[in-house]
Amino acid sequence: MKRPGWSPSLTDTPETPYYTSSISSIVRTSGGDASLSEITEDEGAFGRPITVDMREHVHDATSNMSISPTNRDVVLAARNGLFIIDLESPNAVPRHLPQGGTWNVADVQWNPHISHWEYVVSTSNEKLLIWNLSLGGNTAIQTVLHKHYRAITDVNWHTHEPNVIASTGLDSWVWLWDIRVNAKPTMGLCAFNPGATQVKWNRHDPNVLASSHLNTVVLWDRRKGTVPLKTFRAHSAKIYGIDWGTMQNPSSLVTCSLDNSIKLWDTQSVIRSDTEDPTPINVINTSYPVWRARNTPFGKGVLALPQRSETTLEMWSWDLINQSPDAPPVAQFAGHKDIVKEYVWRVIGFDNGDPQEYQLITWTKDRMLRLWPIQRETIKGVSSESQRNSSPVRSKRKPTSAIYRPASFRDIPIFPEVGHTVGDMSVLLPSAEHRSASGDIRVKENEKVIRNTDPEKQSTSDVPSGDPLVIRASTMTRGGKTSSKVDLKPFTWLTSVRIGEAQADSGSGHGSVVQSRQTSRSRPGSVNVASRSAETSAQRDDSLRTEPADTQELLKEEIVNAINALSMYKLELENVDVDVSRTCTIGFQGDWSETSVYMRVTFQFPPAYPLSRNPSDSPDISLERNPLIPRDTRLFLLRTLRSIRDRRPCLEDCLRFLVGDQKYGRQQDSSDDESQERQGTKKAQLSVVRGQKNIPEFRNLQGYFGPNGEIICFFGAPKRFMRGRPMDASPPPMSAKSSNIDPTMFQTGHLSVAVRKLSEFANLHDPTFSLSSNIEADNVVRVMDQLLIGNRRRRATTGSRGREQEVSAQKGQSVLSIRDVAHLVAAEKRVAQVYIISTRNPSALCEENAAIARKHGRYDHERMFRVLQPLVANVAPQQDRYAAVRWGQFPMARQLIVKLYEELCGKKDLQLLAMMAVVLFQAEMLTPNLQAAHLSQPDPHQNPFLTAGRPVQSNPDYFGIRKLSESRQAGTEASWGSRTSDSPTSPVAPRSFTSSISSKSSWSSIINSSGVRLLMGGNQDRSKIDPASPTEQMPPERGALPSKQNTLEFRRSRNSISETSVSFLQPPVKSAAVPQVISRPRVTIPPSQPRRLTFSQAVTSKSSAVPTKRLVVDLDYDWDADTQPLPQSLMDEQMHKQCEAHIRAYAEMLPHWGLMHKRAELMKCIPKRARDDPWRFTRVIQILAFANATMYHMSPPLQM
């Protein structure tokens, strides 16, 4: 509505309440005055200072707050949305309207017009968000207005037109918007200056607005367009806040700035003046930069908000300042723990349009909301003399009529369907469920407990109840609940709100409204009087308000404490209303039927609780009806609760009883009650254990490995009832299968067990080995012994079978057994004890360990050693009779080793892996040079085998071929053994091949495959020189040994050799060198020969080697380092590393068996690197350990 300029405005303050009838139809009309007065007196927390701790809910700092035009709700704007707190029920969980955004909110303002009271505007960087709080759906944002191109710093609703907003920002534009027109702003005003900080509409003239830019103020008239009325420099530093004057002086403007001053201007004179630097009417000098300074809604005062470092708000009176520029502030609001970011005024209680009481609401940076009552004296202090006398603020608050009690936006307003009368529906529907704004489920009690469910009383804080249709509507119109990111549990919220918190500073009990500050230049007289009287009045006020405050707080504390104490039981505080109706509903898991049941109990506390010990002031307790709970149990519960509730405090005890906590066990009326309870609680406790949804069902069966290849297992209570099964102190294994009563049959069972064990032993170590009958014989004896023993026991216990059965069934659960599965685990302690690790010669190591393995029955180990031995056989220190030979001569070695290694890796046999690694490392260490040059070298040792007078070996026999031939002979170990004694130089390699073939190892697979060809081919080169050089007495049997089969093979392979020799990558041997070798022991092979061998050469060598029959071995070699061909490294880098890792891992395993000395030996095998030995500190006591049988006297180096 348009008004002529500068006419008196209709209203005093911008936040004049203005009720329309449509709104009041939503409002519950209360029954009678009695309830009303009740409400007004302990109303919300109007009279008392409240502290609301929002820290847990609002995670980032919000700096903005606004109050609704009805003064009932406060909105806090944060990055993640808006929070609406109902000031009358601060203990109720605030409503959260989510907003996805990462921008801090610069400003938020609730539409000050009651007619449009559902609109709130907030900023999001350069956008304006218009929220409509009555919107349902996902979000409450109705519109987004975007015109600024830089961040918005201030918004301001028009003081008269409810749809108009002015916004301004860092881009120095002021945009005027009409929210009915969404697309574009209606007008834009630009100051072309640095960005604006504030914009404010004049409270009186609808066309005038002011904006502040840096340190200048620009006055606009929107009818004038984009040329300002006046631009004037107001301060010397940045202006933070501006505020137009109230009715008394509508053209006055208050500005505050960084330069520590608040100035009051008369804009009319400023406009009329020509200068850019007018003088203000009044200046207040503060000691701090002022962030906001606004006129008070009462009198002529200004409340200043410091920008930083100060936490006290100060209120000045302009009149006093007029009289003396250094007048002290009239009032101070101290006690904030952090700087105050925003404040709003709250007015309550209108009597014919006159505000009755004021409240200051401050929001601090530490996210605490505080409500300060304004004392009358304060108001007087800022009022002018005339005002003080004429219209005193009423001393007693009159009850306001219901029509003026607005609804809170904390709940989503429901627009009732036509035809339904809202209210009283709850009477008709016994247990309707509905959701309140915060999404809690509240179950209405049935009409028995009507006191709880008084819809009138609860109307202020929840949606209309009882009407299912309305309820459904409510769930649909829930605003943004589903996407709320904020977890607002009533319990958490409850702990955040504190009423009547005692502040530090002043002497008064509540709040710390310090009336005056003594300064040197103050006027002591009047001010002091004011202060004294203020204090006394404050105290008087306190006494009036102590009672209700305390009980409320006490009740809240009690609820909080009870829930905390029983946090183990996961109680759910579903609904709590401490302020108005003093009820709370708690959900819990209780074991009052066969299974544990989720139940709800509602407590309704009379006002005098908990201070009064009168039984009539005990709470009303009602249990939700649950079909799973039998009637008797329910009655029992209610009866017991009734007896418990007379205690003070009773909530925790009641809850303890309900959840079946065993700590609950107080005096009972009757003994049977007690025993019943004990049982009940015990049962309840157990069921709590089981019913706790997060405790996994506990296991009573387990098999766990021990360090020595044993499994320790227990099987809990037997699942099947084994009827007639005789329990024994030491039942043989697998006896579960023999569940018969008949003793004879049981013996049969034994036999079957015996047979099974026999077969087990057969498979025990080596799946292919089947020859060691002597060992099996031992096992059979063992089994037979057990049989006999078992039989004897059987006879003894036949008579007492029945009794034992029962006993042992109970005992069964506490019995465990240790079973040995070392045969599967593969790593064995007893062989670990005896394996030799450190010898100089890796092949001797292999041999000895092979023998040891055999002795202990570990044929798989033996096989490995035997396979490995020839591969390392040719490495020996110089002093040894085994002359050192290079690796490269036997190119297959590497591949074989890799193959063997892979097999062991597949079996994951750590022991063997480590032993193999040891062998390989040793071999490596002994070779003088480790360069990867390829070479070939005749092996004098191998030579004896090469052409041993066999007709087959017209083809130069290589080491490999010879081995093949021998290997195909089965069971010739004995003969070989003798042979080795004859020929000291012959390595025991042949034997290994024997066993390896028979054990179907990868070796045989190599042999049988094309690898053989390679083998042949490779060795062929080398052996060109062979036939002549070595000499050895070949045992005569050798010639006789090869079987037909071998011959055939050889022939076949021989043929293939010729084909493949060319392709084989072996360094060639000059055929010319052949004859030389015969005479000289030294073999020189130039390493830089082309690799390929021509066919002719091969053929030549073949032919030349054929006639040789005798081999001469000259053992006195004199190897010249220069002429030595460079050795090829046996393992590649990766394998090398892994081998070292194997050794280390094995070394970690050895201490489990107590073999510390073995471990020490083992660690020495690792080639020289920095060895980090975690056990180094135990070296000192290794000797002790070794000497001492038991390990438990090791003094730990770590004193704990």
Which residue lies nearer to other proteins by CB, 608 or 777? 777
Of positions 905, 933, 1073, 1106, contacts other proteins by CB under 8 A: 905
Burial category of 697 from C-beta neighbours within 10 Å (exposed 0-12, middle 13-18, buried 19 and up):
exposed
Burial category of 908 from C-beta neighbours within 10 Å (exposed 0-12, middle 13-18, buried 19 and up):
exposed
Of positions 195, 509, 607, 1151, contacts other proteins by CB under 8 A: 1151
3-state secondary structure 859-916: HHHHHHHHHHHHHHCCCCCCCCCCCCCCHHHCCHHHHHHHHHHHHHHHHCCHHHHHHH
Q: Is 705 in the site for other proteins (CB under 8 A)?
A: yes
Which residue lies nearer to other proteins by CB, 237 or 816? 816
Site for other proteins, residues 554 to 573, rule: CB under 8 A: 567-568
Q: How many CB atoms lie within 10 A of CB 1167?
A: 13
Q: Is 729 in the site for other proteins (CB under 8 A)?
A: yes
Q: Is 932 in the site for other proteins (CB under 8 A)?
A: no
Q: Is 806 in the site for other proteins (CB under 8 A)?
A: no
Q: Is 710 in the site for other proteins (CB under 8 A)?
A: yes
Shortest Å, Cβ 487 to other proteins: 13
Shortest Å, Cβ 1031 to other proteins: 44
Shortest Å, Cβ 1199 to other proteins: 8
Q: How many CB atoms lie within 10 A of CB 293?
A: 26
Q: Is 818 in the site for other proteins (CB under 8 A)?
A: yes
- Rounded Cα–Cα distance for residues 277 and 270 (Å): 9
3-state secondary structure 739-756: CCCCHHHHHHHHHHHHHH
Site for other proteins, residues 675 to 704, rule: CB under 8 A: 689, 692-704
Q: Could you tell me which stretch among 149-157, 583-591, 1033-1041, 1171-1179 binds other proteins (CB under 8 A)?
A: 1171-1179
Of positions 630, 665, 707, 802, contacts other proteins by CB under 8 A: 707
Of positions 911, 955, 995, 999, contacts other proteins by CB under 8 A: 911
Of positions 247, 427, 751, 815, contacts other proteins by CB under 8 A: 815
How many Å separate Cα 403 from the centre of its chain? 52
Q: Is 717 in the site for other proteins (CB under 8 A)?
A: yes
Of positions 391, 519, 536, 730, contacts other proteins by CB under 8 A: 730
Burial category of 401 from C-beta neighbours within 10 Å (exposed 0-12, middle 13-18, buried 19 and up):
exposed
The two three-digit tokens of residue 1068, written as one number: 């060639």
- How many residues touch other proteins (CB under 8 A)? 109
For residues 599 and 658, the answer to whether their CB atoms sit within 8 Å is yes
Q: Going residue by residue from 567 to 606, which x/- string records binding to other proteins, judged by CB under 8 A?
A: xx--------------------------------------
Q: Is 751 in the site for other proteins (CB under 8 A)?
A: no
Q: Could you tell me which stretch among 104-112, 120-128, 840-848, 1169-1177 binds other proteins (CB under 8 A)?
A: 1169-1177
For residues 1064 and 1093, the answer to whether their CB atoms sit within 8 Å is yes
Which residue lies nearer to other proteins by CB, 576 or 910? 910
For residues 13 and 347, the answer to whether their CB atoms sit within 8 Å is yes
Q: Is 1190 in the site for other proteins (CB under 8 A)?
A: yes
Shortest Å, Cβ 683 to other proteins: 15
Closest CA to 413 of 21, 15, 18, 23: 23
Classify residue 416 as left (phi > 0), alpha (psi -120 to 50) or beta.
beta
Q: Could you tell me which stretch among 528-536, 666-674, 778-786, 1035-1043 binds other proteins (CB under 8 A)?
A: 778-786
Which residue lies nearer to other proteins by CB, 100 or 767? 767
Shortest Å, Cβ 628 to other proteins: 24
Closest CA to 124 of 175, 80, 60: 80
Cα dist. 1156→161, 833, 874, 1181 in Å? 92, 10, 31, 9
Shortest Å, Cβ 834 to other proteins: 16
Of positions 86, 1154, 1156, 1162, contacts other proteins by CB under 8 A: 1154
Triad 23, 27, 29: Cα angle to 5°: 130
Which residue lies nearer to other proteins by CB, 231 or 786? 786
Collapse the DSSP code of 574 into the 3-class scheme (helix H, G, I; strand E, B; otherwise coil) and give the result.
strand
Which residue lies nearer to other proteins by CB, 271 or 1184? 1184
Q: Is 718 in the site for other proteins (CB under 8 A)?
A: yes
- Rounded Cα–Cα distance for residues 1193 and 645 (Å): 61
Shortest Å, Cβ 1165 to other proteins: 14
Site for other proteins, residues 185 to 224, rule: CB under 8 A: none
Q: What is the DSSP string of 669-709?
A: SSHHHHHHHHHHHHHHHHHHHHH-TTSPPPP--EEEE-TTS
Q: Is 910 in the site for other proteins (CB under 8 A)?
A: yes
Which residue lies nearer to other proteins by CB, 594 or 1172? 1172
For residues 986 and 944, the answer to whether their CB atoms sit within 8 Å is yes
Of positions 754, 1017, 1153, 1160, contacts other proteins by CB under 8 A: 1153
Q: Residue 102 carries which DSSP code?
A: -
The two three-digit tokens of residue 1130, written as one number: 């046996």
Of positions 507, 906, 951, 971, contacts other proteins by CB under 8 A: 906
- Rounded Cα–Cα distance for residues 835 and 1175 (Å): 21
Q: Is 1121 in the site for other proteins (CB under 8 A)?
A: no
Closest CA to 860 of 735, 946, 772, 947: 772
Q: Is 719 in the site for other proteins (CB under 8 A)?
A: yes
Q: Could you tell me which stretch among 313-321, 439-447, 773-781, 1117-1125 binds other proteins (CB under 8 A)?
A: 773-781
Rg (CA), the chain: 50
Site for other proteins, residues 279 to 318, rule: CB under 8 A: none
Which residue lies nearer to other proteins by CB, 173 or 569? 569
Query: In the chain, what's the furthest Cα-to-Cα distance?
Result: 144
Q: Could you tell me which stretch among 107-115, 418-426, 575-583, 1164-1172 binds other proteins (CB under 8 A)?
A: 1164-1172
Closest CA to 1042 of 947, 967, 1111: 967
Which residue lies nearer to other proteins by CB, 695 or 771? 695
Q: Is 1197 in the site for other proteins (CB under 8 A)?
A: yes
Closest CA to 718 of 815, 790, 801, 798: 815
Q: Is 827 in the site for other proteins (CB under 8 A)?
A: yes
Which residue lies nearer to other proteins by CB, 520 or 694? 694
For residues 452 and 583, the answer to whether their CB atoms sit within 8 Å is yes
Which residue lies nearer to other proteins by CB, 193 or 685? 685
For residues 68 and 409, the answer to whether their CB atoms sit within 8 Å is yes
- Rounded Cα–Cα distance for residues 378 and 302 (Å): 12
Q: Is 1140 in the site for other proteins (CB under 8 A)?
A: yes
Shortest Å, Cβ 694 to other proteins: 4
For residues 117 and 69, the answer to whether their CB atoms sit within 8 Å is yes
Task: Tell the residue number behind the tokens 């529907």, with chain if given.
Answer: 429
Q: Could you tell me which stretch among 118-126, 342-350, 523-531, 898-906 binds other proteins (CB under 8 A)?
A: 898-906
Q: Is 803 in the site for other proteins (CB under 8 A)?
A: no
Main-chain dihedrals φ then ψ at residue 1076, nearest 5 degrees: -65, -40
Shortest Å, Cβ 719 to other proteins: 5
Q: Is 1187 in the site for other proteins (CB under 8 A)?
A: no
Which residue lies nearer to other proteins by CB, 180 or 719? 719
The two three-digit tokens of residue 907, written as one number: 């079996």
Of positions 485, 639, 811, 1164, contacts other proteins by CB under 8 A: 811
Shortest Å, Cβ 1121 to other proteins: 26
